[in-house]
Amino acid sequence: MQYIKDNLKEKNILITGGAGFIGANLSFYFQDNHPEAKVVILDSFRSDKKLSNGNLKSFGHFKNLIGFRGEIISGDINDKELLQNLKTNYKFDYIFHQAAISDTTALEQDLMIKTNVNAYKDLLDLAIEHNANMIYASSAATYGNVSSPQTVGKESPQNVYGFSKLSMDNLTKEYILKSDISIVGLRYFNVYGQREYFKNTTASMVLQFGHQLLSGKNPRLFKDSDKILRDFIYIEDIIQANIKAMNTKKSGVYNVGTAKARSFQDIVNILQKELETNFKCEYIKNPFIGSYQFHTEADISTTKEILGYEPRFELEDGIKEYCKYIKEIYEEEVK
């Protein structure tokens, strides 16, 4: 589905983190809907490098890009020489910045700030030199445990990831005042959808529960999961928000969610219906009490008003559409 009618012929688009979950979906959106645009992907791709928590440093995977016909660059956004090459040898009209250390449990504060904040500043400088509109991934992690609905301007991050994203948003406000380009930060809430499998254990619980059910296992939830509610948003609505942010004249930071809080129990119930299973739920103690968001619900009033964004997928709709991909990836990668 096209979200803009603009002709992108001869427009050059840079997507950082383009081999990751959201970046890859953006890349295929342009290829499928605006084939006249030139899309360049920059991604560090995965290697054996891990964080201290045991998770991979990069989740970018070539399989997310099978079928993509644009240019692909393997590189790290912390590489100053690489960024200088992009600045000198390319001319971008739009930059979609999705690359980040996105693991909310990562403990490496130095790497998190360097990658998420300092490299973003370098990319902003590139955007200004190219006169390119910047659309970047912020996060609902900026809100920490503040009460719902989460509203821009009322943040309290509880981990270094959320802090780094809030620092990006603060940097954005500074750059808005001294540049003429459009700069839009999108605070993603709990995203799920195709091409997230290679995020491993950080993939959404929609996918993880789906694969538990397909493998014949009882779904395992925290106790009182019917009372743990999040704003779950399907990848198609994330893409919609990114595309609608391309040409707004109102720079700023916007929430991207559904404005509806749903429970983890809801996810399992919907999956059981769509996958035609009927396994008994197992309930385990929640070890994250005190450091866990128990209710998120995005205030999207400004997003709707300024960007023209309107969420299209209820949780039932998103999971129903997603299930064919959950089955496919299970057959290809898990079974």
For the chain, give every domain's residue range.
12-330
| Superfamily designation of domain 12-330 | NAD(P)-binding Rossmann-like Domain (3.40.50.720)
Active-site residue, 309 included: no
> Is 330 marked active-site?
no
Angle at which helix 315-329 crosses helix 264-275, to 10 degrees, equals: 60
The active-site residue out of 94, 161, 197, 254 is: 161
Residue 20's contacts (CB-CB under 8 Å, 6 or more residues apart) are: 43, 59, 60, 61, 64, 98, 99, 102, 199
pLDDT at 309 (0 to 100)? 97
Per-residue pLDDT of the chain (335 residues; tens, 9 = 90+): 778 767 899 999 999 999 999 999 999 999 999 999 999 999 999 999 999 999 889 999 999 999 999 999 999 999 999 999 999 999 999 999 999 999 888 999 999 999 999 999 999 999 999 999 999 999 999 999 999 999 999 999 999 999 999 999 999 999 999 999 999 999 999 999 999 999 999 999 999 999 999 999 999 999 999 999 999 999 999 999 999 999 899 999 999 999 999 999 999 999 999 999 999 999 999 887 766 678 999 999 999 999 999 999 999 999 999 999 999 999 999 98
CA dihedral 207, 266, 23, 335 (to 10 degrees): 10
Q: Cα(150)–Cα(241) distance, rounded to whole angstroms?
A: 18
Helix ranges, 285-314 (H): 301-302
**Do 157 and 144 touch, CB atoms closer than 8 A?**
yes
Cα 282 from Cα 284, distance rounded (Å): 7
The closest alpha carbon to 16, from 37, 41, 35, 34, belongs to 41
DSSP 118: I
Q: Structure pTM?
A: 0.96
* Cβ-Cβ contacts under 8 Å for 104 (sequence gap 6 or more): 141, 159, 161, 162, 202
What is the predicted pLDDT for the residue at 330? 98
What per-residue confidence (pLDDT) applies to 9? Answer: 92
Which pLDDT score is estimated for 291?
Answer: 63
Which of 11, 199, 322, 330 is catalytic? The answer is: 199
